[in-house]
Amino acid sequence: MKYKLKNLIFKAGKSQWQICQELNWPEAKLSRFVTGRRAPPPEDLETLAPVLGVSRQELQEALN
């Protein structure tokens, strides 16, 4: 589990479902990133970071 990513989602004040709706992603996509089953490709980091209100670098650090 990527707790730092989970914390960024919480701080954004949105649920995983809301973020997926906003990005037009299937719910399983973000879930795989949060559980650590899959690492997001660079283009997904670029898309997700602004929705969470963080920089791409901060998001990358949360995933490490």
CATH number for position 24: 1.10.260.40
* pLDDT confidence band for 10 (50 / 70 / 90): very high
The reported pLDDT for the residue numbered 64 is 87
What range defines the domain where residue 7 resides? 3-63
- pLDDT tens across 12-22, in order? 999 999 999 99
- pLDDT tens across 21-64, in order? 999 999 999 999 999 999 999 999 999 999 999 999 999 999 98
Over the chain, what HEC string results? CCHHHHHHHHHCCCCHHHHHHHHCCCHHHHHHHHHCCCCCCHHHHHHHHHHHCCCHHHHHHHHC
Report the number of distinct structural domains present in the chain. Answer: 1
pLDDT at 5 over 90: yes
